[in-house]
Copies of this chain bind each other. A is one copy, B any other.
């Protein structure tokens, strides 16, 4: 996934002629657009942008992880999504950011101006298609997450979350999947629209049912993948792989 950027960098020098903001590269995909963007390094807990900021850039997480959230008028926090390597943030068009983005682990992020992305999409059909598809994928993810929140109980929500994490962050197929929970329980709770206590209870319940095991508080091992799946609306969540339902806005 990071390789595409590297190839673009290797190809570019020979084909550099026109001078605009940066070199003329072969941009066949959305990720190619980030090839020349400098990598910014963030420590844990640093803010990429705040809720209400004017939206100027599109971000791509290269390493580490981030969290998007907003504060509701009743003071509660809504976590709108997590972003892991390869994920985009702020693809959706809007004048202002509706959410803040903040790293939950040391991270490397590239960003490009929205105007550039817009121009590149207009110059290259495959970039435009890629963009359309990326947004559509996020739409489907948000839709799936919506079902999860609207229809599933606490256990089902947590199960869905764990499966999404496993799907997203694990080397697949090496026995029982180990999932590192980078985020706090409160992050999970605010994401799943549950209280911290309920998240905790759900995890221990899944543990007692021998569906998962807990090593420490931040390492989950999925024992019974099938049982976990049956707690979820897998038909829809698998249709929309990855998580990060709201790289948008």
Contact = CB atoms under 8 A, between A and B. Distances in A.
Given A78-B151, A93-B133, A150-B193, A139 B249 contact: yes
Contacts of A139: 92, 135, 138-139, 142, 248-249
Interface stretch (A59-67, A117-125, A175-183, A200-208): A117-125
Contacts of A142: 139, 142-143, 146
Q: Which among A78, A122, A139, A145 has the highest number of chain B CB atoms within 10 Å?
A: A139
Interface in A106-122: 118, 121-122
Contact of A248 (B125, B131, B143, B193): B143
A76 interface: yes
Interface stretch (A37-45, A209-217, A232-240): A232-240
How many identical subunits does the complex contain? 2
Nearest to A78: B147
A17 interface: no
Interface of A: 72-73, 76, 78, 80, 92-94, 98, 118, 121-122, 125, 128-129, 131-133, 135-136, 138-140, 142-143, 145-147, 149-151, 193, 233, 235-236, 239, 246, 248-249
17 contacts: A72-B233, A73-B233, A73-B235, A78-B150, A80-B143, A92-B139, A92-B140, A93-B132, A94-B140, A121-B128, A135-B135, A135-B139, A139-B249, A140-B248, A143-B246, A145-B146, A150-B150
